[in-house]
Amino acid sequence: MREMGIRGVARRWKAPKTTVSDESERPPDLVQRDFTADAPNQLWVTDLTYVKTMFGFVYTVFITDAFSRAIVG
């Protein structure tokens, strides 16, 4: 393609617009950023992320047990 002077179509993906958080409305940090646990089911943590698909963005959420690191939801 370089020798012929042609290029493929470059599609730029647009990041989704997410919520702008308001510091005054943020809930308290109940674990003080300490994500360790001494036994199963004492602390669950969650992560929300977005994935680009050919139809747009979809959101995924995983709930993980901090002790075993197993996905529980």
pLDDT at 52 over 90: no
Is 12 domain-assigned?
no
18 is a domain residue: no
Q: Which structural domain range is residue 42 located in?
A: 31-73
Domains identified in the chain, total number: 1
| pLDDT 10s digits, 5-25 | 888 877 776 777 777 777 778
Helix (H, G, I), strand (E, B) or coil at 23: helix
DSSP result, the chain = -TTTT-----PPPPPPP-----GGGPPP-TTTT----SSTTS-EEEEEEEEEETTEEEEEEEEEETTT--B--
Mean pLDDT of 53-68: 90
Residue 6 domain flag: no
pLDDT on residue 38 = 93
Q: What confidence tens digit (pLDDT) does each residue in 37-46 have? A: 999 999 999 9
